[in-house]
Chains A and B, each alone.
Chain A
């Protein structure tokens, strides 16, 4: 589903991703952990082309992200084509980024209406289904400001699901939440993983990684330090940097 081959990315002279190589198969859940500034979020943002990759090849479902390869040459995609690639990739942000001027329901139905051209009735019906799925069936007419952080993040997940993505990206989805609200968001994510969704989750929730993830990657300083089965990596980290990080967070 997702394949990164020696992917690098710099902001000016600061190289934040150094030759990242990894693959995620369809239906798999990959958790990326690591200290802040290790490039986890940047890598996630590269996958749906919110950031541009400098070197290496990054592809989703066999399609290069942001480029078209023709006769050995790379061509930058038009904004429309790049947007088209994003249709199959849902993203959930640390700070939810719900649209504050729209109700929960409108937040969810917006993109299907504007991008896929769904009728308002169909988009709203689908939005209601999704709200039901994340346990917020009765909150459709609430504005984000009237919802708790956990509820907002669940609406954000529903919003991403409304585009029927094949891949879901989660960028520290619980980091901005009060501790007692983390569980409700993780429950929704776990249910999503069980339903067979391919997911890449940048997180600090080691419990979630252990329970739900099929694979775990530990990143530090822009490189993949260690990867493997989450239970094994968490229980028995091989690398000194992984050990040091896990000793602090576990």
Chain B
């Protein structure tokens, strides 16, 4: 038995099929899915009926949609919406990172402050918060520095919350920071404990460990949901009407319709712009996720850039200079 098996392994039997000769190709009849087809047809018919109907209804005011879609006021307002989104997200990410690190800090005071912040800003509606920030300038008309209940040394008029755009950015950012801090915290916690331990064993301080070891590795977890938050923020900016700020996309389209008495076409116009922006962001999100999901790839080291991407927890996140830290000295 053994000797035959060995012989067989060494010298293939001429009668048995050689390895390069493949078996007969399978030509089976594929499984049919009649229900999928049927449901698709029904849905297409329903949508077609709806569209045909909508195209003929006066209320949709399609001519007005065409008239206002590229209106200067609308495109300006779209720019304001983008600015609100970008500024408040940048502020929220910075604040969120700070809060997340505070919550993971060994210092109980710092930890409690971060928890309290999260409790308040995640526990109340963003709309309510924006209304509040809108009236803060009435509650605190001047900022003063001095001993409490004594004549102030310096008093400055409240110039921040009288600027409605600034108020909107701050209001949106403060709310978003609470959510960002949870995203960042999840990212920081995803880094293996052994990393912190190794870093401490090398005599690095807690701050150095965070900055050079933990934060860069957590970017892979943090970036994709942050993209999601950006998309969400773009739409949340429409709530600045609560402040009340009305120079954003929704505010301006509402303002125009208040004059023309054509609310529906302007809602459609605003929606088209929002959809355009979110679609662009979704495409961006797709590429970011693809890039950061490569994780533990077995890529051979090549050019620096591709190697960084291939690495688990590669720290080349958005807004991070190439290298291994956040712009620290090299």
Contact = CB atoms under 8 A, between A and B. Distances in A.
Are A and B a genuine interacting pair, yes or no? yes
B298 interface: yes
Interface stretch (B122-130, B135-143, B166-174, B306-314): B306-314
B203 interface: yes
Given A110-B212, A141-B301, A115 B202 contact: yes
A71 B195 CA distance: 38
B195 A106 contact: no
B201 A145 contact: no
Contact of B198 (A89, A99, A106): A99
A97 B212 contact: no
Given A93-B197, A99-B213, A120-B330, A145 B312 contact: yes
Interface stretch (A30-38, A61-69, A76-84, A217-225): A76-84
Given A101-B314, A145-B312, A160-B201, 13 more contacts: A79-B205, A89-B201, A90-B201, A97-B197, A101-B217, A101-B324, A110-B213, A114-B208, A115-B208, A143-B301, A145-B298, A146-B298, A146-B299
A84 B203 contact: yes
Interface residues of B, number: 34
A99 B180 CA distance: 25
Given A101-B324, A143-B307, A145-B312, A86 B198 contact: no
A146 B205 contact: no
Contact of B206 (A79, A93, A115): A79
The 4 closest A-B pairs by CB, nearest first: A97-B198, A111-B202, A97-B194, A91-B201
Interface of A: 48, 50, 79-80, 83-84, 86-87, 89-91, 93, 95, 97-102, 106, 110-111, 114-115, 120, 141-143, 145-146, 156, 159-160, 163
A83 B203 contact: yes
Contact of B296 (A95, A102, A145): A145
Contacts of A99: 195, 198-199, 213, 217
Nearest to B208: A114
Interface in B180-208: 192, 194-195, 197-206, 208
15 contacts: A50-B200, A84-B203, A86-B200, A86-B201, A93-B198, A93-B201, A95-B194, A98-B198, A99-B199, A99-B217, A100-B311, A100-B313, A115-B204, A145-B297, A145-B311
Contacts of A163: 202-203
A186 B194 CA distance: 22
Contacts of A101: 216-217, 308, 311-315, 324
Contacts of A84: 203
B199 to A, nearest CB: 8
B324 A160 contact: no
Interface string B55-78: 000000000000000000000000
A110 B199 CA distance: 9
B300 interface: yes
Contacts of B311: 100-101, 143, 145
Interface string B147-177: 0000000000000000000000000000000
Contacts of A141: 301
> Which of A87, A97, A160 gathers the greatest number of chain B CB atoms within 10 Å?
A97
A83 B203 CA distance: 5
Point out which of B203, B205, B315 has the most chain A C-beta atoms below 10 A from its C-beta.
B203
